[in-house]
Amino acid sequence: MKQPQYIGTTDPTLAAGDEPASNVSPNAYFGDILDARVSRRALLRGSLAAAMAGAMATTLPFGRVLAAGTDVPAPSLGFKAIPVSAADSVVVPEGYRVQAFIPWGTPISGDMPAFSLDTSGEDQAQQIGSHHDGMHFFPLDGSSRDGLLVLNHEYVEPRYLHGAARGLALDSEGFPQHEDGSRDRDQVLKELNAHGVSIVRVRQGADGHWQVVEDAHNRRITGLTPMRLAGPVAGTEHVVTKFSPDGSMTRGTLNNCSSGVTPWNTYLTAEENWAGYFANEDPEIDRRQARYGIQTRDTGRYQWHRAAGGADETRRFDASSRGASAREDYRNEPHAFGYMVEIDPMDPQSTPVKRTHLGRFAHEGVIFAPAVEGQPVVCYSGDDSRFEYIYKFVSARPFHAASADGSLLDEGTLYVARFNEDGSGEWLALAPGKHGLTPENGFTDLADILVNTRSAADHVGATKMDRPEWGAVDPVTGQVYFTLTNNTRREPGQEDAANPRSDNGFGHIIRWQEDGSHAGTRFAWDLFMLGGDREHGRNLAGDTLSEDAIFASPDGLWIDPDCRVWIQTDISESVMNNGIFDVFGNNQMLAANPETGEIKRFLTGPVGQEITGIAMTPDQRTMFVNVQHPGATTDAEAFAAGDFASHWPEGGDAIPRSATLVITREDGGIVGA
Ligand code: FEO
Ligand code: CA
Ligand code: CA
C-alpha cells in the first residue's frame, strides 16, 4: 500500500509528558496543605524567607540517626559537581567513565537481527525496545560483573522507528498513516514490540567495558505478550473479553515507566499512561475508563486499532461496545491495564502476571520497604497524573524468605495517603465497608474498588498531589521519599507570599516516616527539597540552591545502599531549554545527602531527552542510567529536513536513540562516593 498520504497525530492531551488531568473530585490539593503550613509559619515568623526556611527545616519527629538506632554516618558525595549543559552529549564528573550501551534496536535474542531502521515488526521482538525507563540489575551468582539487566520501554516515537518515516513532517507524537486513516500493519507490530520490557544478560570484560551476552535468559516482553491476571480483579466480569471469556488473561503491557524489585527477586513493571492507547466511540463511558481519561473518541495514541488487516490483536485497542456482549468485543480491554506486572527474569518460560491488588491507576512505579521475616510485605506506588494520589499495599500474609512469591501481592489491603496540615498523615484503606466504600455508595465489592481505584481514593478523601513519580526508601531510617514532578494546572491566583508553589513548574520531593512499622496507618511528613532555579529552589535547610544544585521536575528517584539520594529530572520536552527552564539546561541527575540536604549535580544528558531509570551492581562499582527520547525536541519541519536536534549516541547525522549509560570510576571506586 502506498504510504503515507497524510500524517496522523492524536489528541495532544495524550502526549508523552502530558498526562490528562481527570480528577474532578473536591478533595484538598496537596499544594493547599503545603501552602497552609508555610503560611502559618510566615505569620508566626513574619517573612517569606523565614517561612520557606521553616517549611524546609526537617520537622519530622525523629532524627536520621535516632530512627536507625545506630550511628550510621551520612553518605559522602565525593565527586566534583558538574555544571548544567545544553550540549548533545553526556557529561559525568572528573574521574568517571561513561559508556553508551544497548541503544534501541540492539539484537539480544532469536536470530539476533541487526539494527536497521528497516527491520520488521517481528525483528523488533528480538531487539532492545525504545524509550528506556525503569531498570534493575539482577546479579547472576551474586556477581557484580555478570547479570541480567531488566529495563522498561515506556513508549515510542514512530518517526524514529520506521525507515518509511524519513522525510515526513512528523513531530514527536506523529506517525505515518494512510489516507483512509488506517495504519501499516507491520509498523504497528513494530511499535507494539518496541514497547514492554527487555531482559538481557550483560557482562563486564577485562577492559572494563560491558557487553551483551547471548543467553537463554534474554527475552522481550512486549505489547503483545500473553499475561495472566491475578488478585481480586482476575476472573471478574470487569475483565471478560473476546480473548479471555473467563477474565483470566490479557495481552501485553504498555507505557512501562518505572519499576520495582520484589523481596523475592522478581521485577515489577508499571503501566503508566496506558489510557491514551484506547479509542472508544460509545456515547457513554463509565468511570472505569472515564476516570482514567478515556473519553468518547475514535482516536488512540498511535491509532493501533486501525492497523490494516484488522487483526484481533490490534482491533482490541478499540474499546467500543461492538458485539452483543463483553465476550464478543473489547469493551473491557482497558480494564486489564493500569497495573503492576510481575516478571521473573530468572525463568524465561514464565508468564508475566498483572497484580491487581496493587491498584489500577497510572502507576509510575513501585518501591518495597525492606522485607522483615514474619512481617507483612509493604510497597508504595504513585499515580502520576495531576492531582492524583500516593498508595501503599500491605500484604495479608507475612513474609518468609524461604517461601515468598508474588501471591503475597494478591491478598492484603490497598491504602491511599492523606497528608494533614499539621505534618501528620494517615493511610486510608480502600476496602469494602471502609470509609464509606459500600454498595450504597457505588462500590460493590473489592474488585469494583480496585478497578476503580481512583474513584475509591476520591471517595475516602485522599490528598491530591502534584504528579507523584518515583518513590524510594532510605535503607537506614526507613523514611520514604517521593518525587512530585510538577503541576502547572494549580491555578494562578492561589499564590500569596506564603504560597509560592502554585503553578508548580519546578516540582518538589516529599518524605515521611511511618509510625511504627511500614505496615502502620499513620505517618509524619515533611519536605526534602523544592526544585527550582537560584531564586525558587530550596534545600533541606531552607536555603537557596547553588549553581551546582539547581534542578526542575524531579522524576526518577533512588536511594543507594549508602543512602545517597539520586534524583533524575524530566523537564518536559515542550519547555526544556526555554524560558524559565533555560537555566537548567538538558535533563540531569544529581545526588543528595539525606541528612544534610547537600545536593550536587552528577550527570547531564544530551539534547531533548529525560534521564530516567537507575540500577547498580551489588559492589556499587557500576551504575546503569537510562537516557530516554533524545531528540524529542525536533519539530516536524526539522524532522522532514533530517535536521534532528540530537544525534546521540552515534553522532554524525545519525537518528537519536534511547540508550543505557554505564558509569564507572577510573579508580574502580564506589560510584558517587
Ligand atoms: Fe513516565 Fe510519570 O513518567
Ligand atoms: Ca517518569
Ligand atoms: Ca515524568
Ligand nearest to the CA of 556: 2
Res. 43: pLDDT tops 90: no
SS3 state of residue 253: coil
pLDDT at position 39 over 90: no
Amino acid occupying residue 147? G
CB 251 within 8 A of CB 257: no
Is 540 within 8 Å of 596 (Cβ atoms)?
A: yes
453 closest CA partner among 550, 373, 383: 383
Span 461-501, pLDDT tens digits: 999 999 999 999 999 999 999 999 999 887 776 542 223 47
The number of beta carbons lying within 10 Å of the beta carbon of residue 89 is: 15
**pLDDT greater than 90 at residue 669:** yes
Least confident of 71-75, 188-192, 622-626: 71-75
Query: Looking at ligand 1, which atom is closest to the CA of residue 384?
Result: 2
Tell which residue, 334, 340, 363, has the closest CA to residue 353: 340
314-345 pLDDT, tens per residue?
Answer: 999 999 999 999 999 999 999 999 999 999 99
Residue 62 pLDDT level (bands cut at 50, 70, 90): very low
User: What pTM did the predictor assign?
Assistant: 0.93
What does the pLDDT average to over 509-529?
94
Residue pair 418/426 in contact (Cβ under 8 Å)? The answer is: yes
Residue 568 Cα to ligand 2 middle (Å):
9
Find the ligand nearest to 486 CA.
3
For ligand 3, a single-atom ion, the residues with CB < 5 A are 555, 570
C-alpha cell at 30: 496537596
- Protein residue with its CA nearest to atom 1 in ligand 1: 257
pLDDT bin (cut points 50, 70, 90) of residue 68 is very low
Q: Are 484 and 510 in contact (CB under 8 A)?
A: yes
What spacing in Å lies between the alpha carbon of 557 and ligand 2's midpoint? Answer: 9
Which ligand is nearest the CA of 131, by number?
Answer: 1
* CB contact set of 291 (below 8 Å; sequence gap of 6+): 22, 23, 452, 454, 455
Where do the domains of the chain lie? 1-28+140-466
Does residue 655 contact residue 631 with C-beta atoms inside 8 Å? yes
| Residue range 63-75: mean pLDDT, rounded | 56
The answer, yes or no, to whether the previous bond of 649 is cis (omega within 30 of 0) is yes
Average pLDDT estimate for 147-159? 98
pLDDT at 252 over 80: yes
Q: Is 607 or 7 the better-scoring residue by pLDDT?
A: 607
Per-residue model confidence as pLDDT tens digits over 541-582: 889 999 999 999 999 999 999 999 999 999 999 999 999 999
Does residue 45 register a pLDDT over 70? no
First CA to last CA across the chain, in angstroms?
57
pLDDT of residue 571: 98
Q: Three-state SS for 99? A: strand
According to DSSP, the β-strands at 386-388 and 465-466 are antiparallel
How would you class 20 by CB atoms within 10 Å of its CB: exposed for 0-12, middle for 13-18, buried for 19 or more? buried
- Residue 254 CA to ligand 2 center (angstroms) comes to 14
Distance 468 CA to ligand 3 centre (A): 9
377: which residues sit within 8 A by CB, 6+ positions away?
A: 263, 368, 371, 393, 394, 395, 399, 404, 408, 409, 412
Taking the centre of ligand 2 as the mean of its atom positions, its distance from the CA of residue 42, in whole angstroms, is 33
What is the position in ligand 1's atom list of the atom closest to the CA of 257? 1
**CA 16 to ligand 1: nearest atom:** 1
Q: Which is the closest atom of ligand 1 to the Cα of 154?
A: 1
Average pLDDT over residues 27-49: 43
* 362 Cα nearest atom in ligand 1: 2
> Which residue matches cell numbers 491555578?
491
- Check if the beta carbon of residue 592 is closer than 8 Å to that of residue 530: no
Question: What spacing in Å lies between the alpha carbon of 251 and ligand 2's midpoint?
Answer: 23
* pLDDT for the residue numbered 628: 98
- Mean pLDDT is lowest, of 188-197, 319-328, 523-532, for 523-532
Say which range, 64-73, 118-127, 436-445, 620-629, has the weakest mean pLDDT. Answer: 64-73
Secondary element (H or E) of residue 55: helix 48-56
User: 48 falls in which pLDDT band (50, 70, 90)?
Assistant: very low
Q: Give the integer Cα–Cα distance in Å for 188 and 116.
A: 17
CA of 361 to the centre of ligand 1 (A): 12
* Contact between residue 98 and residue 662 where contact means Cβ atoms under 8 Å apart: yes
Q: Which three cell numbers stand for residue 571?
A: 523537564
CA dist 518 and 520 (Å) reads: 5
Query: Given this model, what pLDDT does residue 370 score?
Result: 97
451-464 pLDDT, tens digit each: 999 999 999 999 99
Q: Ligand 1: residues whose CB is within 6 Å?
A: 154, 257, 272, 364, 384, 469, 555
Average pLDDT of the chain, as a whole number? 91
Residue 373 has pLDDT above 60, yes or no: yes
Average pLDDT over residues 198-225: 98
User: How many Å separate Cα 320 from the centre of its chain?
Assistant: 28
| Number of H-type helices and E-type strands within the chain | 11, 32
Question: How many percent of the chain have pLDDT more than 70?
Answer: 88
Residue 630 confidence (pLDDT):
98
226-230 and 353-355 strand pairing: parallel
386: cell is 495531576
- The string of DSSP letters for 268-331 reads EEEE-S-GGG-BB--S---HHHHTTT--SBS--SS-GGGBTT--HHHHTTB-S--SSSGGGS-T
Ligand nearest, relative to CA of residue 485: 3
d(CA 570, ligand 3 centre) in Å: 5
**Res 6: pLDDT:** 35
Q: Pick the atom of ligand 1 nearest to 364's CA.
A: 2
Ligand index nearest the alpha carbon of residue 572: 3
Strands of the sheet with 659-665, listed across from one edge:
96-101, 659-665, 623-628, 610-616
Which pLDDT value is given to residue 18? 44
Distance between CA 495 and CA 75 in Å, rounded?
Answer: 37
How far, in Å, CA of 622 to CA of 204, rounded?
Answer: 9
